[in-house]
Each structure stands twice: as structure tokens, then as C-alpha cells.
Amino acid sequence: MKIILNFINLTKYHPFVLDNRISYNKHVEVIIEKLSNLGYGIAKNDGMIIFVEKACPKDKVKIKITKRTKNYAYAAIEEIIEPSPHRVKPFCPMFNACGACQLQFIDYDFQLDLKKQIVEDAIKHIGHLDIKINSPVKSPDKYRHKIQYPTAQTKVSKRLLAGYYKPKTHELVNIKHCLIQPPICNDIIDFIRQYANEYNISGYDEKTHSGDLKHIVIRNSAAYEENLVILVLNSNKITPKIKEFAQLIYNNFKEVTGVCVNFNPKKTNVILSDNTKCLAGKDFILEKLGDKIFKIGANTFFQVNPKSAENIFKYVKEYIANNFQNAQVLDAYAGITAFGIYVSDIAQKVVSVEENTQSCELAKESLEINKINNVEINNTDAEEFLKNETKKFDVIILDPPRKGCTKETLDNAARLCKKSIIYVSCNPATLARDLKYLTDKGAKIESIQPFDMFCHTYHIENVAVISYDQNNL
């Protein structure tokens, strides 16, 4: 939270002037200047920053202030006086109701310009670094190969609903045809909607924490006709009706290669618990990137956009191939060792570190499938591993969760790295913070390359290449 507020405060607009003339419910005319890191249009009025919902840079709009804090305000558009030339008609008819694709009303090329600017702002204002940001690499695919729909049910007929929440609410929008996911996933979810009633399986009510089915999760392979369906249950038990229902889904689709249940009876925002059981077929899907095959399970991390992920893997592999011979590579925060396996044929040895046990088990099975024998998998905490390791690596790949790395982890990565750290990040703010920390301690940032992994949202993935001089050897 702190880092996000910093990000907002540290735009070029600070210092903020507290202006009592902009009050709650006041209407003002503004021109939208840029996009915030959370996808709001940013406008200024009498020195105050206003975050405007669903606004595109270069829009001239009449806005209504909906909320104001000490230093900034939020607003909704009342009237578009002059639309930005980058506004387009959203291709999805559910755009206004659904909160999943915030930027769909902006043309795709301009979305990429805006995401680049978000990265530039973070690097400049949080990282205090003057580094050129490359243009983002476009997503080659429609992208969403992991679907996570919460469920609910209609009040009277008790029909199952599944979809995304309306923006900033937990009000469910029943999504029949999501256009950024493979059509087979829409068909599977529709089938579940239709037959859940017959099997007496109810949707979830968040307020009363009641109902059988909390979420429907699907992992879809971009390379093979394979789908793993995970029914997230509000209980710890498999009832006969759930068993039959899982079998029904499995039998009905040749593209469904497995149906699992995940037991998640806690009142929590976490979608999947650690406890998954396969009820029909197999508990993983196969994916192929380049010439490598990967096993992906219900509880393992894998990028939601495999084609865009492949662009990142290629980029990292090319960097290693161009700069090292027989490199020793550490793949930290490895998931199913996607980077490690992808680069294994140009490395002398890869050591991967990942805390999730299922990811490590599937990574070992992927090594067998690909007949790879120079990758060592360590199922442990990356921070502990880095702290205790003494052997140095030519390249360290760091791909941490959104919160980034601790200072201690960065210190240990710098200590263990002979030449390069490749930092892969889905959060420009924590990336900027961590790059500042590393450069303050002597590292050099070679490049920052954004990749559009999450089209039509304000999210952006980045690969930063960080190098050390020969003294680090």
C-alpha cells in the first residue's frame, strides 16, 4: 500500500496543493494528462491531482468529484466534451459492467504507450533512475489461459452465476462470452452453470459464507487441447453429487483432460487453498513453449499468457546465449522452473529454487519429459537458499511475487552473482524500488524491457537486466 501511495505522490505533479475549492460533488472541466499506475486518468485542477475513472489521456471531460482526500481527489466522468483520439469502441459488450479489462476503450497501441509511461514514472520517481524504457513487446495472443470465476446464484430460481465482479464491488456479473479467453473455456463454464442446478450444487454467497461452489478455475493449454477444471468448494468434503458432477464435466468435453476439487472452506479472499484432489482424468495440463514441454497443475504458478511468456523466455535465453558460454544459472522464484527449463540447453547447469511443492514435483516430471539432466530443483524458500549459498552463478534470474524482494535477498543475489541478474517483475513500483537498492550498491542497469502480458489491463510485465563489473567475480 505504502509503495502505491508513494507512486502516486511521486508523480511529477507533487507537491500537492490542498484546494478547498474542489469539493465533494463539485463539477469541473479537465483535460486528462496521463494514466496512473492503477489505470485512472490523471487530471489537474488548481494544483490538485484528480484520478478520473475510465478516462483516456487527451480526453476533455466534465467530471464530478466522488471522493477527496487531503492530497488528491477521485472523480467520475459526467460528460465527454472532446474525446481523446485514442478512444475506441470496446469490443466486449460487457465492458461497462465487468471490471476485468479496464483499458479496452483505448486503442491497443496507445495502451502500450501508456504502460511504457507507467514504467517510466515508476523508474524515475520511485527508483530515481534515469534509464530508457524500451517499447513494450505486444501480446501475440488473446491471452487469458487461466480463468478464475467467482460464483453466486439468483435469488429466486437459484440458478448458478459465474463471471467477474463489477469494478470495485463484489457484485457478480454473469459472463457468458469472455472474449479474451479461449471459447472452450466459455463453453465449459456455461455447461457448469446449466447442470449445477440439476446436481443440487449451489453458488456462493459471500455475505453469509454459504453455498457449495466458491469459484470455477480453468487452466487452458495454448499448445494442446487440454483443460484442467478446478471446482473450488466451500467445504472439506467430497459429496457423491460433486463426484458425479466432476465426472459429468469430464465426460462431456474431449478437451477437458482433468477435473479437480479444491477444498477452501475458510472465509478468505484466497481463491485456491493448498488442498486439491483430482476426481476425473489427470491433475495437470501440458503446455509447450519453444521446444520444451511443461506440466502445469492446479496449485502451480504459470503465466496467464503463455505466448507472451514465451517472448520473455526467448528474450532471456538470447541474452544468456549472447553473453555467456556454458553459463551457471540460478532460477529463483522458479514456479515450475519455466525459465530454467527453457534455457537449460544453453547453460552448463541450472539451479532452481521454489517454495511450492507441487511446482517442484511437476518441474521434475517436466525434466524427465524433456530429457533434461543439467537442472537441479530445490524445494525451499528462496531467501533462505540465497542466504546460505556460497557458490557463485554467472546469471541469477529473480522472478519474485508482486511485493518484490527483501533487501537481504537483493544483497545475497548481488553477492552470488558473477555478472548478471535478470529481474522479472509484474509490478513496476517494487521493481523500481529494488533496482534503486541494487544500483545504490554498485549494480548497473543494462536495460528494461516491458512485455504486454495482461492486455487491456493496466498491468505490465518487465524484464530488467542488471550487470556487475569484473570485481564481482
Ligand X SMILES: C[S@@+](CC[C@H](N)C(=O)[O-])C[C@H]1O[C@@H](n2cnc3c(N)ncnc32)[C@H](O)[C@@H]1O
149, HSE (Cβ side, Cα atoms, 13 Å):
32
User: Closest residue to ligand X, Cβ-based?
Assistant: 335
* Distance in Å, CB of 362 to ligand X, minimum: 11
Q: Does 212 bind ligand X (CB under 6 A)?
A: no
Decide if 56 is catalytic.
no
Between 280 and 347, CB nearer to ligand X: 347
CA distances (Å), origin 270, targets 54, 220, 299, 300, 339: 27, 21, 12, 14, 26
Reduced to 3 states (helix: H, G, I; strand: E, B; else coil), residue 384 is: helix
* Distance in Å, CB of 144 to ligand X, minimum: 16
- Reading phi first (left if > 0) and then psi (alpha if -120 to 50, else beta), residue 431 is in alpha
* Distance in Å, CB of 462 to ligand X, minimum: 12
Burial class (CB in 10 A: 0-12, 13-18, 19+), 236: exposed
Q: Does 401 bind ligand X (CB under 6 A)?
A: yes
Residue 335 near residue 359, CB atoms below 8 Å: yes
Residue 387 near residue 363, CB atoms below 8 Å: no
Between 303 and 420, CB nearer to ligand X: 303
* Distance in Å, CB of 366 to ligand X, minimum: 12
Spell out, one character per residue from 30 to 69, where the chain touches ligand X: x when CB under 6 A holds, - when not: ----------------------------------------
> Which stretches within 399-473 are classed as H helix?
407-416, 428-440
Spell out, one character per residue from 408 to 437, where the chain touches ligand X: x when CB under 6 A holds, - when not: ------------------------------
Between 289 and 443, CB nearer to ligand X: 289
Residue indicated by cell numbers 491433475: 283
* Distance in Å, CB of 349 to ligand X, minimum: 18
Residue from the set 276, 303, 430, 449 that interacts with ligand X by CB under 6 A: 303
* Distance in Å, CB of 409 to ligand X, minimum: 8
Residue from the set 399, 434, 452, 461 that interacts with ligand X by CB under 6 A: 399
**Active-site entry in 98, 101, 360, 426:** 426
Between 354 and 389, CB nearer to ligand X: 354
Between 95 and 339, CB nearer to ligand X: 339
Residue 272 near residue 298, CB atoms below 8 Å: yes
Q: Does 378 bind ligand X (CB under 6 A)?
A: no
* Distance in Å, CB of 82 to ligand X, minimum: 41
Identify residues 332-371 at the interface with ligand X (CB under 6 A): 333-335, 338-339, 353-356, 359
Q: Does 404 bind ligand X (CB under 6 A)?
A: no
Between 68 and 295, CB nearer to ligand X: 295
Q: Of the listed pieces 77-85, 105-113, 245-253, 297-305, which binds ligand X according to CB under 6 A? A: 297-305
* Cell (9 digits) for 397: 534470474
Residue from the set 381, 407, 415, 469 that interacts with ligand X by CB under 6 A: 381
Residue 193 near residue 205, CB atoms below 8 Å: no
| Contacts by 85-91, CB closer than 8 A, 24 or more apart | 85/58, 86/56, 86/57, 86/58, 86/110, 87/56, 87/59, 91/179
Reduced to 3 states (helix: H, G, I; strand: E, B; else coil), residue 67 is: strand
Q: Does 174 bind ligand X (CB under 6 A)?
A: no
* Distance in Å, CB of 454 to ligand X, minimum: 13
Instruction: Kindly state the greatest CA–CA separation across the chain.
Output: 71
Residue from the set 283, 310, 383, 461 that interacts with ligand X by CB under 6 A: 383
Q: Does 302 bind ligand X (CB under 6 A)?
A: yes
79, HSE (Cβ side, Cα atoms, 13 Å):
5
CA distances (Å), origin 431, targets 310, 332, 400: 21, 15, 10
Sequence-separated (6 or more) residues with CB below 8 Å from residue 323: 419, 420
Reference 121, options 469, 432, 426, 452; nearest CA is: 432
Residue from the set 143, 301, 319, 437 that interacts with ligand X by CB under 6 A: 301
Between 19 and 384, CB nearer to ligand X: 384
Question: 160 pairs with which residues across the strands?
Answer: 153
Total site size for ligand X, rule CB under 6 A: 18
Query: What is the residue type of 370?
Result: N
Between 43 and 272, CB nearer to ligand X: 272
* Cell (9 digits) for 239: 459429496
Q: Which residues of 242-262 are buried (b: 16+ CB within 10 A; e: fewer)?
A: beebbebbbeebebbbbbbbb
* Cell (9 digits) for 54: 475510465
Residue indicated by cell numbers 517454495: 355
Between 338 and 466, CB nearer to ligand X: 338
Chain CA centroid to CA 469, Å:
33
* Distance in Å, CB of 339 to ligand X, minimum: 5
Q: Of the listed pieces 51-59, 216-224, 278-286, 295-303, which binds ligand X according to CB under 6 A? A: 295-303
Q: Does 382 bind ligand X (CB under 6 A)?
A: yes
Reduced to 3 states (helix: H, G, I; strand: E, B; else coil), residue 464 is: strand
Rule CB under 6 A: which residues touch ligand X?
301-303, 333-335, 338-339, 353-356, 359, 381-383, 399, 401
Active site residues: 426
